[in-house]
Protein backbone atom coordinates (compact mmCIF):
# COMPACT_ATOMS: atom_id res chain seq x y z
CA UNK A 1 0.00 0.00 0.00
CA UNK A 2 2.98 2.28 -0.43
CA UNK A 3 2.05 3.07 -3.99
CA UNK A 4 1.16 6.53 -5.15
CA UNK A 5 -2.43 7.30 -4.27
CA UNK A 6 -4.85 7.20 -7.18
CA UNK A 7 -6.92 9.96 -5.65
CA UNK A 8 -6.13 12.31 -2.79
CA UNK A 9 -8.35 14.46 -0.66
CA UNK A 10 -6.41 17.50 0.56
CA UNK A 11 -7.61 19.75 3.37
CA UNK A 12 -11.20 19.58 2.27
CA UNK A 13 -13.82 21.67 4.05
CA UNK A 14 -17.34 21.44 2.76
CA UNK A 15 -20.40 23.46 3.67
CA UNK A 16 -24.08 23.04 2.92
CA UNK A 17 -25.08 26.66 3.35
CA UNK A 18 -23.90 27.41 6.90
CA UNK A 19 -23.60 23.75 7.92
CA UNK A 20 -19.97 22.65 8.08
CA UNK A 21 -20.34 19.08 6.77
CA UNK A 22 -16.69 18.13 6.30
CA UNK A 23 -13.93 19.52 8.47
CA UNK A 24 -10.41 19.63 7.12
CA UNK A 25 -10.39 16.16 5.60
CA UNK A 26 -7.19 14.80 4.10
CA UNK A 27 -6.75 11.23 2.97
CA UNK A 28 -5.24 9.21 0.17
CA UNK A 29 -6.78 6.24 -1.60
CA UNK A 30 -4.40 3.55 -2.87
CA UNK A 31 -4.97 2.09 -6.34
CA UNK A 32 -6.45 -1.42 -6.59
CA UNK A 33 -7.61 -1.34 -3.03
CA UNK A 34 -10.94 -1.23 -1.27
CA UNK A 35 -11.46 1.56 1.20
CA UNK A 36 -14.47 1.61 3.50
CA UNK A 37 -15.85 4.83 4.94
CA UNK A 38 -17.83 4.27 8.11
CA UNK A 39 -19.53 6.39 10.74
CA UNK A 40 -22.97 7.26 12.09
CA UNK A 41 -25.58 8.95 9.91
CA UNK A 42 -24.72 12.54 9.21
CA UNK A 43 -20.99 12.09 9.82
CA UNK A 44 -20.06 13.24 6.32
CA UNK A 45 -18.98 9.95 4.76
CA UNK A 46 -21.52 10.05 1.91
CA UNK A 47 -20.86 13.74 1.36
CA UNK A 48 -17.19 12.94 0.88
CA UNK A 49 -17.97 10.03 -1.44
CA UNK A 50 -20.18 12.27 -3.57
CA UNK A 51 -17.49 14.94 -3.70
CA UNK A 52 -15.14 12.44 -5.29
CA UNK A 53 -17.06 12.48 -8.56
CA UNK A 54 -18.69 15.88 -8.26
CA UNK A 55 -22.13 14.57 -7.44
CA UNK A 56 -22.76 17.47 -5.09
CA UNK A 57 -22.36 20.06 -7.84
CA UNK A 58 -26.08 20.43 -8.39
CA UNK A 59 -26.94 21.18 -4.78
CA UNK A 60 -27.58 24.83 -3.95
CA UNK A 61 -25.52 26.90 -1.56
CA UNK A 62 -22.62 24.54 -1.24
CA UNK A 63 -19.07 25.61 -0.71
CA UNK A 64 -15.91 23.56 -1.07
CA UNK A 65 -12.44 24.45 0.17
CA UNK A 66 -9.39 22.31 -0.46
CA UNK A 67 -8.57 20.00 -3.33
CA UNK A 68 -9.35 16.55 -4.63
CA UNK A 69 -6.41 15.45 -6.71
CA UNK A 70 -6.99 12.79 -9.36
CA UNK A 71 -4.14 12.07 -11.77
CA UNK A 72 -2.27 15.14 -10.63
CA UNK A 73 -5.17 17.49 -11.17
CA UNK A 74 -7.76 19.02 -8.89
CA UNK A 75 -11.10 17.71 -10.17
CA UNK A 76 -12.69 21.00 -9.05
CA UNK A 77 -10.42 23.15 -11.22
CA UNK A 78 -12.53 25.46 -13.37
CA UNK A 79 -11.40 23.83 -16.62
CA UNK A 80 -12.43 20.31 -15.57
CA UNK A 81 -15.60 18.84 -17.10
CA UNK A 82 -17.58 16.99 -14.41
CA UNK A 83 -18.87 14.55 -17.03
CA UNK A 84 -15.30 13.52 -17.80
CA UNK A 85 -14.65 13.08 -14.08
CA UNK A 86 -17.68 10.81 -13.74
CA UNK A 87 -16.54 8.70 -16.69
CA UNK A 88 -13.35 7.91 -14.82
CA UNK A 89 -14.94 7.73 -11.38
CA UNK A 90 -18.17 5.74 -11.45
CA UNK A 91 -20.82 5.46 -8.79
CA UNK A 92 -23.16 2.75 -7.55
CA UNK A 93 -26.01 3.81 -5.32
CA UNK A 94 -27.80 2.41 -2.31
CA UNK A 95 -30.92 1.32 -4.15
CA UNK A 96 -30.47 -0.43 -7.47
CA UNK A 97 -31.51 2.12 -10.07
CA UNK A 98 -31.47 0.49 -13.49
CA UNK A 99 -32.93 2.48 -16.37
CA UNK A 100 -36.40 1.26 -17.35
CA UNK A 101 -34.93 -0.19 -20.49
CA UNK A 102 -33.57 -3.56 -21.55
CA UNK A 103 -30.64 -5.14 -19.80
CA UNK A 104 -28.55 -4.58 -22.92
CA UNK A 105 -29.46 -0.91 -23.18
CA UNK A 106 -28.67 -0.29 -19.53
CA UNK A 107 -25.07 -1.21 -20.24
CA UNK A 108 -24.73 0.18 -23.75
CA UNK A 109 -26.37 3.53 -22.98
CA UNK A 110 -23.34 5.39 -21.67
CA UNK A 111 -20.78 4.01 -24.14
CA UNK A 112 -23.21 4.94 -26.92
CA UNK A 113 -23.62 8.46 -25.57
CA UNK A 114 -19.87 8.86 -25.49
CA UNK A 115 -19.63 7.91 -29.15
CA UNK A 116 -19.34 4.14 -29.49
CA UNK A 117 -21.62 3.26 -32.42
CA UNK A 118 -20.21 0.04 -33.78
CA UNK A 119 -22.60 -2.71 -32.68
CA UNK A 120 -19.87 -5.35 -32.38
CA UNK A 121 -17.97 -3.05 -30.13
CA UNK A 122 -21.08 -2.36 -28.05
CA UNK A 123 -21.82 -6.09 -27.82
CA UNK A 124 -18.30 -6.63 -26.55
CA UNK A 125 -18.61 -3.89 -23.91
CA UNK A 126 -21.95 -5.29 -22.73
CA UNK A 127 -20.60 -8.81 -22.45
CA UNK A 128 -17.38 -7.79 -20.77
CA UNK A 129 -19.12 -5.53 -18.25
CA UNK A 130 -21.71 -8.15 -17.39
CA UNK A 131 -19.01 -10.79 -17.03
CA UNK A 132 -16.99 -8.55 -14.73
CA UNK A 133 -20.09 -7.96 -12.64
CA UNK A 134 -20.64 -11.75 -12.53
CA UNK A 135 -24.07 -11.36 -14.08
CA UNK A 136 -23.41 -12.60 -17.62
CA UNK A 137 -24.34 -16.24 -17.07
CA UNK A 138 -27.65 -15.23 -15.52
CA UNK A 139 -28.73 -12.76 -18.20
CA UNK A 140 -26.97 -13.68 -21.44
CA UNK A 141 -30.15 -15.19 -22.89
CA UNK A 142 -32.46 -12.40 -21.80
CA UNK A 143 -30.49 -9.31 -22.76
CA UNK A 144 -33.55 -7.77 -24.41
CA UNK A 145 -35.76 -8.19 -21.39
CA UNK A 146 -36.47 -5.17 -19.20
CA UNK A 147 -33.94 -4.65 -16.45
CA UNK A 148 -36.84 -4.12 -14.09
CA UNK A 149 -37.66 -7.84 -14.25
CA UNK A 150 -34.39 -8.74 -12.53
CA UNK A 151 -34.18 -9.40 -8.79
CA UNK A 152 -32.82 -6.66 -6.51
CA UNK A 153 -29.42 -8.32 -6.25
CA UNK A 154 -29.24 -8.78 -10.02
CA UNK A 155 -30.30 -5.17 -10.56
CA UNK A 156 -27.50 -3.99 -8.30
CA UNK A 157 -24.95 -6.09 -10.19
CA UNK A 158 -26.40 -4.63 -13.39
CA UNK A 159 -25.78 -1.15 -12.01
CA UNK A 160 -22.21 -2.15 -11.23
CA UNK A 161 -21.87 -3.52 -14.78
CA UNK A 162 -23.28 -0.24 -16.06
CA UNK A 163 -20.61 1.66 -14.12
CA UNK A 164 -17.93 -0.69 -15.47
CA UNK A 165 -19.02 -0.13 -19.07
CA UNK A 166 -17.31 3.26 -19.05
CA UNK A 167 -14.07 1.59 -17.93
CA UNK A 168 -13.62 3.85 -14.93
CA UNK A 169 -10.56 3.84 -12.67
CA UNK A 170 -12.47 4.26 -9.48
CA UNK A 171 -15.87 2.93 -8.44
CA UNK A 172 -17.67 4.68 -5.61
CA UNK A 173 -20.30 2.64 -3.81
CA UNK A 174 -22.81 4.25 -1.49
CA UNK A 175 -24.18 1.47 0.72
CA UNK A 176 -24.46 -0.86 -2.27
CA UNK A 177 -25.98 -3.77 -0.37
CA UNK A 178 -28.23 -2.12 2.20
CA UNK A 179 -31.32 -2.96 0.14
CA UNK A 180 -30.25 -6.54 -0.60
CA UNK A 181 -30.72 -9.92 1.05
CA UNK A 182 -27.71 -11.76 2.57
CA UNK A 183 -27.04 -13.95 -0.48
CA UNK A 184 -27.11 -11.03 -2.90
CA UNK A 185 -24.95 -9.13 -0.43
CA UNK A 186 -22.43 -11.95 -0.35
CA UNK A 187 -22.34 -11.94 -4.17
CA UNK A 188 -21.67 -8.21 -4.29
CA UNK A 189 -18.98 -8.54 -1.66
CA UNK A 190 -17.34 -11.32 -3.64
CA UNK A 191 -17.60 -9.13 -6.70
CA UNK A 192 -15.91 -6.23 -4.89
CA UNK A 193 -13.01 -8.50 -4.08
CA UNK A 194 -12.80 -9.53 -7.72
CA UNK A 195 -13.08 -5.97 -9.06
CA UNK A 196 -10.26 -4.62 -6.96
CA UNK A 197 -7.77 -6.33 -9.28
CA UNK A 198 -8.74 -3.83 -11.98
CA UNK A 199 -10.36 -0.96 -10.12
CA UNK A 200 -10.09 1.12 -7.00
CA UNK A 201 -13.17 0.88 -4.85
CA UNK A 202 -14.37 3.29 -2.21
CA UNK A 203 -17.42 2.12 -0.32
CA UNK A 204 -19.65 3.80 2.23
CA UNK A 205 -21.33 1.27 4.45
CA UNK A 206 -23.34 1.15 7.64
CA UNK A 207 -22.65 -2.53 7.93
CA UNK A 208 -19.56 -2.74 10.10
CA UNK A 209 -18.97 -6.40 9.34
CA UNK A 210 -19.10 -5.57 5.68
CA UNK A 211 -16.41 -2.93 6.09
CA UNK A 212 -14.36 -5.49 8.03
CA UNK A 213 -14.88 -8.16 5.38
CA UNK A 214 -14.32 -6.31 2.14
CA UNK A 215 -11.97 -3.41 2.75
CA UNK A 216 -8.22 -3.00 2.96
CA UNK A 217 -8.41 0.33 4.73
CA UNK A 218 -11.15 1.92 6.78
CA UNK A 219 -11.83 5.54 7.59
CA UNK A 220 -14.06 6.40 10.54
CA UNK A 221 -15.95 9.71 10.31
CA UNK A 222 -17.73 11.51 13.10
CA UNK A 223 -19.42 14.92 13.00
CA UNK A 224 -17.69 15.83 9.76
CA UNK A 225 -14.19 14.89 10.89
CA UNK A 226 -12.03 11.97 9.88
CA UNK A 227 -11.34 10.48 13.30
CA UNK A 228 -9.18 7.54 12.28
CA UNK A 229 -7.93 6.12 9.01
CA UNK A 230 -5.93 2.93 9.04
CA UNK A 231 -5.58 -0.63 7.83
CA UNK A 232 -8.94 -2.36 8.34
CA UNK A 233 -7.50 -5.20 10.40
CA UNK A 234 -6.08 -2.68 12.82
CA UNK A 235 -9.26 -0.61 13.03
CA UNK A 236 -11.23 -3.71 13.99
CA UNK A 237 -8.77 -5.23 16.43
CA UNK A 238 -6.85 -2.34 17.96
CA UNK A 239 -8.17 1.08 16.97
CA UNK A 240 -6.06 3.94 18.26
CA UNK A 241 -8.82 6.44 18.98
CA UNK A 242 -11.43 5.85 21.66
CA UNK A 243 -14.24 7.28 19.54
CA UNK A 244 -13.51 4.72 16.81
CA UNK A 245 -13.51 1.92 19.32
CA UNK A 246 -16.76 3.08 20.91
CA UNK A 247 -18.42 3.23 17.51
CA UNK A 248 -17.33 -0.12 16.12
CA UNK A 249 -18.02 -1.97 19.37
CA UNK A 250 -21.50 -0.45 19.64
CA UNK A 251 -20.89 1.82 22.62
CA UNK A 252 -22.43 4.74 20.91
CA UNK A 253 -25.77 6.23 21.49
CA UNK B 1 -26.95 14.17 20.22
CA UNK B 2 -24.64 11.24 20.00
CA UNK B 3 -22.35 10.81 22.95
CA UNK B 4 -19.51 8.45 23.68
CA UNK B 5 -20.38 6.10 26.49
CA UNK B 6 -18.28 3.34 27.95
CA UNK B 7 -21.20 0.92 27.99
CA UNK B 8 -22.86 -0.72 25.04
CA UNK B 9 -26.06 0.73 23.76
CA UNK B 10 -27.27 -2.86 23.74
CA UNK B 11 -27.93 -3.66 27.40
CA UNK B 12 -28.24 -7.40 26.85
CA UNK B 13 -24.84 -7.55 25.13
CA UNK B 14 -23.32 -5.58 27.98
CA UNK B 15 -24.81 -8.08 30.42
CA UNK B 16 -23.46 -11.06 28.46
CA UNK B 17 -19.96 -9.63 28.57
CA UNK B 18 -20.09 -9.00 32.31
CA UNK B 19 -21.41 -12.51 32.90
CA UNK B 20 -18.31 -13.91 31.20
CA UNK B 21 -16.16 -11.69 33.35
CA UNK B 22 -17.91 -12.76 36.55
CA UNK B 23 -17.69 -16.44 35.63
CA UNK B 24 -13.97 -16.18 34.93
CA UNK B 25 -13.45 -14.63 38.34
CA UNK B 26 -15.58 -17.37 39.88
CA UNK B 27 -13.54 -20.07 38.10
CA UNK B 28 -10.38 -18.37 39.38
CA UNK B 29 -11.74 -18.44 42.91
CA UNK B 30 -12.49 -22.18 42.62
CA UNK B 31 -8.96 -22.96 41.41
CA UNK B 32 -7.42 -20.88 44.15
CA UNK B 33 -9.53 -22.71 46.71
CA UNK B 34 -8.48 -26.06 45.21
CA UNK B 35 -4.81 -25.16 45.62
CA UNK B 36 -5.37 -24.00 49.16
CA UNK B 37 -7.15 -27.23 50.03
CA UNK B 38 -4.69 -29.63 48.45
CA UNK B 39 -1.78 -27.96 50.23
CA UNK B 40 -3.72 -28.04 53.49
CA UNK B 41 -4.31 -31.75 52.85
CA UNK B 42 -0.56 -32.15 52.36
CA UNK B 43 0.38 -30.31 55.54
CA UNK B 44 -2.30 -31.97 57.68
CA UNK B 45 -1.87 -35.37 56.02
CA UNK B 46 -5.60 -35.35 55.38
CA UNK B 47 -6.53 -37.73 52.54
CA UNK B 48 -10.24 -37.10 52.74
CA UNK B 49 -9.63 -33.40 52.12
CA UNK B 50 -7.45 -34.41 49.16
CA UNK B 51 -10.30 -36.53 47.85
CA UNK B 52 -12.59 -33.52 48.12
CA UNK B 53 -10.28 -31.54 45.83
CA UNK B 54 -10.37 -34.33 43.24
CA UNK B 55 -14.15 -34.49 43.40
CA UNK B 56 -14.58 -30.72 43.22
CA UNK B 57 -12.59 -30.49 40.00
CA UNK B 58 -15.90 -31.33 38.31
CA UNK B 59 -17.14 -27.86 39.36
CA UNK B 60 -14.18 -26.21 37.67
CA UNK B 61 -14.78 -28.30 34.55
CA UNK B 62 -18.45 -27.29 34.56
CA UNK B 63 -17.71 -23.56 34.77
CA UNK B 64 -15.06 -24.02 32.06
CA UNK B 65 -17.71 -25.46 29.73
CA UNK B 66 -20.14 -22.71 30.62
CA UNK B 67 -17.67 -19.89 29.97
CA UNK B 68 -16.65 -21.43 26.67
CA UNK B 69 -20.27 -21.70 25.59
CA UNK B 70 -20.96 -18.08 26.56
CA UNK B 71 -17.92 -16.87 24.62
CA UNK B 72 -18.83 -18.88 21.53
CA UNK B 73 -22.36 -17.50 21.66
CA UNK B 74 -21.06 -13.94 21.83
CA UNK B 75 -18.71 -14.60 18.91
CA UNK B 76 -21.52 -16.11 16.87
CA UNK B 77 -24.28 -13.68 17.73
CA UNK B 78 -22.57 -10.37 18.48
CA UNK B 79 -19.53 -10.38 16.18
CA UNK B 80 -17.44 -8.52 18.74
CA UNK B 81 -14.76 -6.13 17.49
CA UNK B 82 -11.80 -4.23 18.92
CA UNK B 83 -11.76 -4.21 22.72
CA UNK B 84 -14.71 -6.62 22.94
CA UNK B 85 -12.97 -9.00 20.55
CA UNK B 86 -9.77 -8.82 22.58
CA UNK B 87 -11.78 -9.35 25.76
CA UNK B 88 -13.52 -12.45 24.42
CA UNK B 89 -10.37 -14.05 22.99
CA UNK B 90 -8.62 -13.31 26.28
CA UNK B 91 -11.51 -14.81 28.27
CA UNK B 92 -11.43 -17.99 26.16
CA UNK B 93 -7.71 -18.44 26.72
CA UNK B 94 -7.76 -17.55 30.42
CA UNK B 95 -10.60 -20.00 30.85
CA UNK B 96 -8.45 -22.77 29.39
CA UNK B 97 -5.60 -21.90 31.73
CA UNK B 98 -7.87 -21.95 34.78
CA UNK B 99 -9.24 -25.33 33.79
CA UNK B 100 -5.69 -26.71 33.57
CA UNK B 101 -4.86 -25.20 36.96
CA UNK B 102 -7.83 -27.10 38.38
CA UNK B 103 -6.48 -30.34 36.88
CA UNK B 104 -3.09 -29.71 38.44
CA UNK B 105 -4.60 -29.09 41.87
CA UNK B 106 -6.24 -32.51 41.46
CA UNK B 107 -2.87 -33.97 40.49
CA UNK B 108 -1.37 -32.57 43.69
CA UNK B 109 -4.27 -34.02 45.69
CA UNK B 110 -3.54 -37.47 44.21
CA UNK B 111 0.12 -37.16 45.17
CA UNK B 112 -0.92 -36.17 48.71
CA UNK B 113 -2.95 -39.36 49.06
CA UNK B 114 0.10 -41.40 48.02
CA UNK B 115 2.36 -39.49 50.42
CA UNK B 116 -0.05 -40.07 53.27
CA UNK B 117 0.49 -43.82 52.97
CA UNK B 118 4.07 -43.40 54.21
CA UNK B 119 5.65 -41.48 57.09
CA UNK B 120 6.36 -37.83 56.33
CA UNK B 121 9.80 -37.38 54.79
CA UNK B 122 10.48 -33.88 55.99
CA UNK B 123 8.72 -30.78 57.30
CA UNK B 124 7.25 -28.74 54.45
CA UNK B 125 8.54 -25.18 54.36
CA UNK B 126 9.06 -24.09 50.79
CA UNK B 127 6.03 -25.86 49.29
CA UNK B 128 3.46 -23.84 51.29
CA UNK B 129 5.37 -20.67 50.40
CA UNK B 130 5.30 -21.66 46.79
CA UNK B 131 1.59 -22.45 46.97
CA UNK B 132 0.84 -19.11 48.56
CA UNK B 133 2.84 -17.19 45.96
CA UNK B 134 1.15 -19.18 43.20
CA UNK B 135 -2.31 -18.41 44.54
CA UNK B 136 -1.38 -14.73 44.69
CA UNK B 137 -0.33 -14.89 41.04
CA UNK B 138 -3.72 -16.29 40.08
CA UNK B 139 -5.58 -13.72 42.16
CA UNK B 140 -3.50 -10.81 40.87
CA UNK B 141 -3.76 -12.10 37.30
CA UNK B 142 -7.54 -12.10 37.53
CA UNK B 143 -7.64 -8.71 39.26
CA UNK B 144 -5.55 -7.41 36.38
CA UNK B 145 -8.05 -9.02 33.98
CA UNK B 146 -11.01 -7.44 35.79
CA UNK B 147 -9.52 -3.97 35.80
CA UNK B 148 -7.31 -4.08 32.72
CA UNK B 149 -4.42 -3.38 35.09
CA UNK B 150 -1.18 -3.61 33.09
CA UNK B 151 1.06 -2.88 36.07
CA UNK B 152 -0.37 -5.76 38.07
CA UNK B 153 -0.13 -8.07 35.04
CA UNK B 154 3.58 -7.23 34.77
CA UNK B 155 4.09 -8.02 38.45
CA UNK B 156 2.50 -11.42 37.94
CA UNK B 157 4.87 -12.17 35.08
CA UNK B 158 7.83 -11.26 37.26
CA UNK B 159 6.58 -13.34 40.21
CA UNK B 160 6.87 -16.46 38.04
CA UNK B 161 10.66 -16.33 38.37
CA UNK B 162 10.45 -16.67 42.15
CA UNK B 163 8.32 -19.78 41.76
CA UNK B 164 10.77 -21.27 39.28
CA UNK B 165 13.66 -20.80 41.65
CA UNK B 166 11.69 -22.21 44.60
CA UNK B 167 10.94 -25.29 42.51
CA UNK B 168 14.63 -25.76 41.73
CA UNK B 169 15.56 -25.23 45.35
CA UNK B 170 13.06 -27.87 46.51
CA UNK B 171 14.41 -30.32 43.96
CA UNK B 172 18.02 -29.75 45.10
CA UNK B 173 17.01 -30.36 48.71
CA UNK B 174 15.14 -33.54 47.81
CA UNK B 175 18.17 -34.72 45.89
CA UNK B 176 20.23 -34.65 49.10
CA UNK B 177 17.65 -36.90 50.80
CA UNK B 178 17.73 -39.32 47.91
CA UNK B 179 21.53 -39.48 47.85
CA UNK B 180 21.75 -40.07 51.59
CA UNK B 181 19.05 -42.74 51.76
CA UNK B 182 17.61 -44.55 48.74
CA UNK B 183 14.52 -45.48 50.77
CA UNK B 184 13.42 -41.85 50.53
CA UNK B 185 13.47 -41.86 46.72
CA UNK B 186 9.79 -42.72 46.22
CA UNK B 187 8.54 -39.99 48.57
CA UNK B 188 11.10 -37.48 47.33
CA UNK B 189 9.98 -38.00 43.75
CA UNK B 190 6.33 -37.56 44.71
CA UNK B 191 7.13 -34.35 46.61
CA UNK B 192 9.09 -33.04 43.64
CA UNK B 193 6.02 -33.75 41.50
CA UNK B 194 3.90 -31.68 43.87
CA UNK B 195 6.41 -28.86 43.50
CA UNK B 196 6.51 -29.31 39.73
CA UNK B 197 2.71 -29.08 39.56
CA UNK B 198 2.80 -25.83 41.53
CA UNK B 199 5.47 -24.51 39.19
CA UNK B 200 3.26 -25.33 36.19
CA UNK B 201 0.26 -23.69 37.85
CA UNK B 202 2.38 -20.55 38.15
CA UNK B 203 3.21 -20.82 34.44
CA UNK B 204 -0.51 -20.83 33.67
CA UNK B 205 -1.01 -17.81 35.96
CA UNK B 206 1.74 -16.07 34.03
CA UNK B 207 -0.08 -16.89 30.78
CA UNK B 208 -3.20 -15.29 32.24
CA UNK B 209 -1.16 -12.12 32.82
CA UNK B 210 0.22 -12.31 29.28
CA UNK B 211 -3.32 -12.40 27.94
CA UNK B 212 -4.29 -9.39 30.05
CA UNK B 213 -1.46 -7.45 28.44
CA UNK B 214 -2.77 -8.52 25.02
CA UNK B 215 -6.30 -7.52 26.01
CA UNK B 216 -5.21 -4.03 27.06
CA UNK B 217 -2.57 -3.24 24.46
CA UNK B 218 -3.12 -5.66 21.57
CA UNK B 219 0.56 -6.61 21.98
CA UNK B 220 1.52 -10.24 22.23
CA UNK B 221 4.13 -10.83 24.97
CA UNK B 222 3.57 -14.58 25.34
CA UNK B 223 6.95 -15.67 24.09
CA UNK B 224 9.10 -12.84 25.38
Q: What are the extents of the domains in chain B?
A: 11-217
Chain A: residue nearest B80 by CA?
A: A249
User: pLDDT tens for residues B167-179?
Assistant: 999 999 999 999 9
Question: What is the number of CB-based contacts under 8 A between chain A and chain B?
Answer: 54
Is pLDDT of A3 > 80? no
Q: Which of A70, A62, A66 is nearest to A16 (CA)?
A: A62
Mean pLDDT calculated for residue range A19-47 = 95
Q: Chain A contacts of B82, Cβ < 8 Å?
A: 235-239, 244-245, 248-249
Q: Chain A contacts of B80, Cβ < 8 Å?
A: 249
- Whether residues A246 and B5 touch (CB distance < 8 A) is answered with yes
Q: Which of B224, B222, B13, B194 is nearest to B97 (CA)?
A: B222
Position A2 scores a pLDDT of 55
ipTM of the complex model? 0.71
pLDDT band at residue B224 using 50, 70 and 90 as cut-offs: confident
Q: What is the largest CA-CA distance in chain B?
A: 80
B 21-50: CB under 8 A from A: none
CA distance A94 to B139: 52
Q: Chain A contacts of B217, Cβ < 8 Å?
A: 238
Q: Cβ of A160: how many Cβ atoms within 10 Å?
A: 26
- Whether residues B85 and A253 touch (CB distance < 8 A) is answered with no
Tell how far CA B155 is from the center of its chain: 15
Mean pLDDT calculated for residue range A2-9 = 87
Mean pLDDT calculated for residue range A201-210 = 94
Q: Cβ of B46: how many Cβ atoms within 10 Å?
A: 17
- Dihedral, CA atoms, A135, A138, A142, A144, nearest 10 degrees? -10
Position B97 scores a pLDDT of 98
Domains of chain A: 7-248 (3.40.50.300)
- Whether residues A243 and B85 touch (CB distance < 8 A) is answered with no
Position A60 scores a pLDDT of 87
Position A1 scores a pLDDT of 47
Q: Chain A contacts of B77, Cβ < 8 Å?
A: none
Q: Chain B contacts of A39, Cβ < 8 Å?
A: none
- Average pLDDT taken over every residue of chain A: 93
Q: How far is B116 from chain A (nearest CA, A)?
A: 51
Is pLDDT of A253 > 90? no
User: pLDDT tens for residues B5-23?
Assistant: 467 878 889 999 999 999 9
Mean pLDDT calculated for residue range B201-220 = 95
Handedness of CA B212, B218, B221, B223 (dihedral sign): positive
User: pLDDT tens for residues B42-101?
Assistant: 999 999 999 999 999 999 999 999 999 999 999 999 999 999 999 999 999 999 999 999
Is pLDDT of A91 > 80? yes
Is residue A249 less than 8 Å (CB to CB) from chain B?
yes
State the DSSP H helix or E strand holding residue B215, giving kind and residue range, or none if neither.
helix B185-217
CA distance A93 to A174: 5
Is residue A41 less than 8 Å (CB to CB) from chain B?
no
Position B2 scores a pLDDT of 38
Option in B4, B13, B80 nearest A246 (CB) = B4
Chain B: residue nearest A39 by CA?
A: B2
User: pLDDT tens for residues A160-181?
Assistant: 999 999 999 999 999 999 988 8
Position B10 scores a pLDDT of 83
Classify A226 in phi/psi space as left (phi over 0), alpha (psi -120 to 50) or beta. beta
DSSP state of A101: S
Q: How far is A199 from chain B (nearest CA, A)?
A: 28
Q: Which of B172, B171, B39, B48 is nearest to B107 (CA)?
A: B39
Position B223 scores a pLDDT of 85
How big is the CA angle at A3 (ends A172 and A236), to the nearest 5 degrees?
Answer: 60
CA distance readout (Å), A229 to A38, A39, A201, A226, A250? 10, 12, 16, 7, 18
Is pLDDT of B4 > 90? no
In chain B, pLDDT over 70 holds for what percent of residues? Answer: 97
- Whether residues A252 and B5 touch (CB distance < 8 A) is answered with yes
Is residue A208 less than 8 Å (CB to CB) from chain B?
yes
Cβ pair A144, A106 in contact under 8 A: no
Is residue B186 less than 8 Å (CB to CB) from chain A?
no
Mean pLDDT calculated for residue range A117-143 = 94
State the best of A40, A223, A246 to mutate against chain B, taking most chain B CBs within 10 Å: A246
Q: Chain B contacts of A212, Cβ < 8 Å?
A: 81
User: pLDDT tens for residues B133-182?
Assistant: 999 999 999 999 999 999 999 999 999 999 999 999 999 999 999 999 99
The CATH number given to B11-217 is 1.20.58.220
Is pLDDT of B3 > 60? no
Amino acid sequence: MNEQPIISVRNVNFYYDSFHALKDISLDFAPNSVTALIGPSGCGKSTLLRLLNRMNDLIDKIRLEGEIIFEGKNIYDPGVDPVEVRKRIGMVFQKPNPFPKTIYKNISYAPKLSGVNNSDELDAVVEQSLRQAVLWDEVKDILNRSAMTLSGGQQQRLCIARALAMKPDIILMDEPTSALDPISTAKIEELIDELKKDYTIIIVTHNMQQAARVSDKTGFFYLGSLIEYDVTKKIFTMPQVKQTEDYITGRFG
Amino acid sequence: MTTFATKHTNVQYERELSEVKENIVYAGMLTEKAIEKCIKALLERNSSLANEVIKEDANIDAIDMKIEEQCINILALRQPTARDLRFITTAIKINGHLERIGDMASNIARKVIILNEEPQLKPYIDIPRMAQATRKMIRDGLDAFMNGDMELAREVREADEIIDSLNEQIFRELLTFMIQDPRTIHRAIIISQVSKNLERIADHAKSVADMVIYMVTGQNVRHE
